[in-house]
Amino acid sequence: MNNYRMDMELKTVLVTGAASGIGEACAIRFAREGFSLILNGRNLSRLDALKQLLTEKYGAKVVLLPFDVRDGAAARDAIDSLPDAWKSIDVLINNAGLVLGLDKEYETAPDDWDVMIDTNVKGILTLTRLVTPGMIGRGRGHVINIGSIAGDAAYAGGSVYCATKAAVKALSDGLRIDLVNTPLRVTNVKPGMVETEFSITRFRGDKERANKVYAGLKPLTGADVAEVVMFAVSAPPHVQIAEVLVMPTSQATATVVNYEL
């Protein structure tokens, strides 16, 4: 997997939710490959620290674009504010996303529906709407949506989150159809269990409960997922990796996991 044949026309990547987890790992992976990086997130101090690391360690060019992906106007203003040299975004990684709680569908708080749907679904739509037309105009580009195994089948306590990730599959498939007469590519990367801050957010800051999710197995890391993203982006231009389901070896479905390793 390390022998990358990079299409050197792809030079600038925008990663949403880059301050931690899979997004941060993608930023590091793309910096290693020589990309210029536009990093979105909400935690400016974390983004600043990541920018410093990427600049010092990889000599990467980095622009920080802090905004909440749920805020369409802020997203538009942020993209408009990019210096001309940075406006040619070649790879869009729609990664920002989250789950809140493990509640039954009829007990999930409507405010939580809104946060998950607005971030995981409308956030992707917003960025895709802002960035894809430029890609079409330039005749090159790749949209990576970070979906989930949760989009393939619902699990107990996951109704709303699973619905958002099923929506990510539909949005990815629909966009691929809409772009079929262009050189652009669309990839839906669907990870299983990845140890990031995902479960800490799910359990509203309860790290002990979050740690138990991954105890007794070897979960994926953000870097494992970033490697899959890079594989898709570095495929020859005529090869479109449409969808990838990637999970730990000790996981078979969202709910069938061997905790004895």
Contacts with ligand 8X3 by CB under 6 A lie at 148-150, 158, 254
Tell me the pairing of strands 185-191 and 12-15. unpaired
**Shortest distance in whole angstroms from residue 191 CB to ligand NDP:** 4
Binding ligand NDP (rule: CB under 6 A), the pick from 26, 193, 235, 241 is 193
Rg, C-alpha atoms of the chain: 18
Partner from ligand NDP, ligand 8X3, none binding residue 158, C-beta < 5-8 Å depending on class:
ligand 8X3
Token couple for 183: 């050189």
Cα 183 → chain centroid: 22
Which residues, 6+ apart, have CB-to-CB distance to 183 below 8 Å?
139, 140, 141, 237
Number of residues that bind ligand NDP (CB under 6 A): 28
Decide if 161 is catalytic: yes
Taking a C-beta distance cutoff of 8 angstroms, is the pair 12, 35 a contact?
yes
Taking a C-beta distance cutoff of 8 angstroms, is the pair 84, 138 a contact?
no
The neighbouring-strand residues paired with 255 are: none
Residue 97 makes contact with ligand NDP by CB under 6 A: yes
CA distance 89 to 74: 18
Residue 55 makes contact with ligand NDP by CB under 6 A: no
Token couple for 79: 């993209």
Residue 159 makes contact with ligand NDP by CB under 6 A: no
Residue 142 makes contact with ligand NDP by CB under 6 A: no
Which residue, judged by CB position, is nearest to ligand 8X3 in the bound state? Answer: 148
Partner from ligand NDP, ligand 8X3, none binding residue 17, C-beta < 5-8 Å depending on class:
ligand NDP
Residues 4, 155, 161, 214: which is the catalytic one?
161
Comparison of 36 and 95: residue with beta carbon closer to ligand NDP: 95
CA distance 52 to 36: 14
Residue 201 makes contact with ligand NDP by CB under 6 A: yes
Which residues contact ligand NDP (rule: CB under 6 A)? 16-17, 19-23, 41-43, 68-70, 95-98, 119, 146, 148, 191, 193-194, 196-198, 201, 222
Residues annotated as catalytic are 161
